[in-house]
Chains A and B, each alone.
Chain A
Amino acid sequence: KAGVTQTPRYLIKTRGQQVTLSCSPISGHRSVSWYQQTPGQGLQFLFEYFSETQRNKGNFPGRFSGRQFSNSRSEMNVSTLELGDSALYLCASSRGTSDNNEQFFGPGTRLTVL
């Protein structure tokens, strides 16, 4: 069974630009969550999607947005990039049911903002 895949793996952007990251969940998983990982702040929850609907959102500015498609694939977008947005962005998929929410993480996209 293929794991969670994320593209691209590495990205370099400059301040003010925007970026779109992509995540393909494990087959059969309907929930996709996004996290930002930095050395200083650790793993922070960005948002969670289930069946194309945003179920929850973390405490991040409106520059961070996402969506989920009917095939459960998800994208997240960051507009007007700031230096502080440099981080590893992780996507995780799960079945999203009330008794099974084990998160399966992808390898992440390393974003560097110059």
Chain B
Amino acid sequence: GENVEQHPSTLSVQEGDSAVIKCTYSDSASNYFPWYKQELGKGPQLIIDIRSNVGEKKDQRIAVTLNKTAKHFSLHITETQPEDSAVYFCAASRGYSSASKIIFGSGTRLSIRP
């Protein structure tokens, strides 16, 4: 079946440094790639997303890049802060209309060292 691989599973960075999380998807028809942040005791929250007609998208300290040829997409967090500590999930979806089409990665636990 279709799947999304996410690396690394854990990541520890010094406060102020950058963090990068990478995902690879298998379904070449995927055209929507959301990223979620899940804090302890809470549900996942969408932090940024990208559609297949765009190669890069930025929102303040967060950016996502997409390489459709290689079927790779990545999350970049710059100037990390303690509140960035959480589990991050990437996902790939074929279309925008159904939750059933969203395949999630296995998650990356990001820790920010003070």
Contact = CB atoms under 8 A, between A and B. Distances in A.
Q: Do A and B bind each other?
A: yes
Interface of A: 4, 31, 33, 42-43, 45, 48, 55-58, 90, 92, 94, 96-108
A108 B45 CA distance: 12
Interface stretch (B22-30, B52-60, B100-108): B100-108
B100 A48 contact: yes
B100 A4 contact: no
Given A42-B105, A42-B107, A43-B89, A56 B100 contact: yes
B46 A103 contact: yes
Interface of B: 34, 36, 41-46, 49, 89, 93, 95-100, 102, 104-107
Contacts of A33: 99-100
A16 to B, nearest CB: 28
A107 B93 CA distance: 22
Given A42-B106, A45-B102, A108 B43 contact: yes
B64 to A, nearest CB: 15
Contact of A103 (B102, B106, B107): B102
**A interface: dominant SS:** strand
Contacts of A42: 89, 104-107
Shortest Cβ-Cβ A-B pairs, 9 listed: A105-B43, A56-B100, A33-B99, A43-B104, A98-B97, A48-B99, A42-B106, A105-B44, A101-B96
A85 B1 CA distance: 23
A43 B95 CA distance: 19
Contacts of A4: 43
Question: Which of B45, B99, B100 counts the most chain A CB atoms within 10 A?
Answer: B99
A96 B96 CA distance: 9
A38 to B, nearest CB: 11
A48 B105 contact: no
B97 A96 contact: yes
B43 A98 contact: no
Nearest to B46: A102
Contacts of B100: 33, 45, 48, 55-58
